[in-house]
């Protein structure tokens, strides 16, 4: 019995003028078999009737009432009706017979029709977060991905989180990499942009859009395909770049991602042109000279060398803060950042270094105080003896008696000689 693939290949080769012997050698079949199939003497046997035919009406009714009914429930019900086949047989026959209808809400059970939207040049920029739970540096990472709907150009920026200030910082970095912004931003219902449970923008998100002179379009609920350009860009970025990216720090990952966007993503061809060529002809609005003045607030633990890590750099604080938690306050667009103690007291102000530069900013006063603290703790005495006997001193006993005189009253214990005297007296 020939498979459908062999049958199609034999007919196609015969129409090209191949002889029966040549077709037999090519397909590894007997010449009589090839000749019989070409002559129409062999016919494929009709498919056997489905084992679900006796239950077809019942299954159609149950699935019409509930398109989401699990096959395990159907199997349990069919067992009581005399069905003795396995669960894989039931699911296979359900698919073959097409008994499960399409749900009009979630499209389960079939594929809904779609239409490609036409995006005008410079009209729309789609935004979404890519969350990386596993990274070479051991910490989760968040990547804000932006995609121009018309040209398909992709740019992305790493971020430590998804708060509004981090969104504003990552968005500004993405727009600077584009060299401008589209007239409209399209996002899903992320909590930092939209009030949960509604389609209304948050006040700070509205101010962010006003700062860049754009409008914001929010996708309808449960309609991720409305921003399909950025969804496809995220899938492409994951399989083409992230799976094979060589980076051990967020700064290295950002550099590698920027290079990939220019050398790989922009070189894709669309309608006879590269993405870079289409994007070059796409008009974008100019950006304001400074980013939106959102304030980043992140907590950090001061290291033993009185340094605080932030954006791939390290900033000094007084040595008394070593091991303590401090808050880094950095307003976007300002050249300085502040470090505040857990009690809300400012402990240091530094000029903000370029992100990922790997530099250390240590103020002279902090360096001198750290040196003095290290020298004060220096000693040449031998280490303490761990097994020495050190009972409470006289001073400690005196202090203990002052606290509780009754607790330290010595009890007179008679000696053995006294016991002997008492025994002789009897």
Name the residue among 293, 291, 258, 287 with its Cα closest to residue 179. Answer: 287
Domain termination site, one of 223, 256, 280: 280
What angle in degrees, to the nearest 10, is found between the helix axes of 228-240 and 250-263?
Answer: 110
Q: Do 151 and 121 meet the contact criterion of CB atoms below 8 Å apart?
A: yes
**Are 309 and 271 within one domain?**
no
The strands making up 215-218's β-sheet, listed across from edge to edge, are 154-159, 141-148, 124-132, 184-187, 215-218
Number of structural domains, the chain? 2
138 and 219 housed in the same domain: yes
**CA 416, 419, 425, 426 torsion: positive or negative?**
negative
Is the domain of 330 the same as that of 249?
no
Q: Looking at the domain assignment, is residue 198 inside a domain?
A: yes
In a domain, 321, yes or no: yes
Q: Establish if 426 belongs to a structural domain.
A: no
Is residue 245 domain-shared with residue 135, that is, in the same domain? yes
Query: Rounded to whole angstroms, how far apart are CA atoms 233 and 244?
Result: 17
If asked whether residues 204 and 311 sit together in one domain, one would say: no
Q: Which domain holds residue 338?
A: 295-376
Cα distance between residue 330 and residue 313, in whole Å:
13
Evaluated on CA atoms 412, 417, 421, 423, the torsion sign reads positive
Do 135 and 185 belong together in one domain? yes
Residue 51 lies in a domain: no
Indicate whether 226 belongs to any domain.
Answer: yes
Q: Is residue 190 part of a domain?
A: yes
- pTM of this prediction exceeds 0.85: no
List the chain pLDDT tens, one digit each, 426 residues.
666 677 778 888 888 888 989 988 888 888 888 888 788 766 656 667 888 899 989 999 988 888 888 888 899 899 888 899 999 999 999 988 888 887 766 655 445 566 677 789 999 999 999 999 999 988 899 999 999 999 999 999 999 889 999 999 999 999 999 999 999 999 988 888 988 877 788 899 999 999 999 999 988 776 656 788 999 999 999 999 998 888 998 989 999 999 999 999 999 998 889 999 999 999 999 999 999 999 889 899 999 999 999 888 999 999 989 999 999 999 988 899 999 998 889 999 999 998 878 899 999 999 999 888 888 888 788 887 888 888 888 888 888 888 875 654 554 555 667 667 777 766
Looking at 247, 280, 313, the residue that finishes a domain is 280
């Amino acid at each position: 019995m020939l498979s459908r693939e062999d049958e199609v290949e034999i007919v196609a080769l015969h129409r090209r003028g191949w002889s029966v012997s040549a077709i037999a050698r090519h397909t590894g079949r007997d010449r009589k078999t090839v000749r019989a199939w070409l002559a129409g003497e062999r016919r494929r046997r009709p498919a056997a009737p489905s084992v679900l035919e006796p239950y077809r009406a019942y299954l159609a009714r149950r699935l019409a009432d509930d398109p989401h009914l699990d096959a395990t429930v159907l199997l349990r019900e069919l067992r009581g009706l005399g069905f003795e086949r396995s669960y894989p047989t039931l699911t296979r026959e359900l698919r073959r017979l097409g008994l499960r209808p399409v749900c009009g809400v979630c499209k389960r059970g079939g594929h809904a029709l779609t239409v490609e939207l036409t995006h005008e040049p410079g009209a729309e920029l789609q935004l979404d977060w890519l969350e990386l739970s596993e990274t070479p540096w051991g910490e989760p990472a968040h990547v804000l991905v932006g995609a121009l709907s018309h040209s398909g150009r992709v740019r992305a920026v790493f971020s430590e989180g998804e708060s509004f200030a981090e969104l504003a910082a990552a968005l500004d970095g993405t727009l600077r990499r584009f060299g401008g912004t589209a007239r409209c931003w399209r996002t899903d219902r992320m909590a930092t942009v939209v009030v949960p449970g509604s389609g209304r923008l948050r006040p700070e998100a509205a101010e962010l859009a006003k700062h860049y002179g754009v409008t914001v379009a929010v996708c309808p609920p449960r309609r991720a395909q409305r921003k399909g350009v950025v969804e496809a860009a995220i899938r492409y970025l994951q399989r083409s770049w992230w799976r094979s990216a060589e980076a051990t720090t967020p700064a290295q990952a950002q550099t590698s991602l920027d290079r990939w966007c220019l050398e790989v993503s922009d070189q894709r061809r669309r309608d006879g042109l590269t993405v870079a060529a289409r994007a070059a002809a796409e008009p974008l609005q100019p950006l304001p000279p400074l980013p939106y003045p959102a304030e980043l607030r992140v907590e950090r633990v001061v290291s033993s060398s009185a340094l605080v890590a932030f954006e791939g750099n390290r900033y000094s604080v007084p040595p008394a803060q070593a091991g303590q938690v401090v808050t880094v306050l950095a307003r976007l667009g300002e050249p300085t950042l502040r470090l505040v103690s857990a009690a809300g007291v400012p402990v240091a102000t530094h000029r903000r270094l370029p992100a990922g530069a790997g530099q250390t900013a240590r103020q002279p006063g902090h360096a001198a105080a750290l040196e003095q603290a290290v020298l004060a703790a220096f000693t040449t005495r031998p280490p303490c003896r761990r097994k020495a006997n050190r009972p409470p001193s006289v001073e400690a006993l005196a202090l203990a008696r002052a606290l509780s005189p009754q607790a330290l009253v010595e009890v007179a214990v008679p000696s053995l000689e006294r016991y002997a005297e008492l025994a002789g007296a009897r």
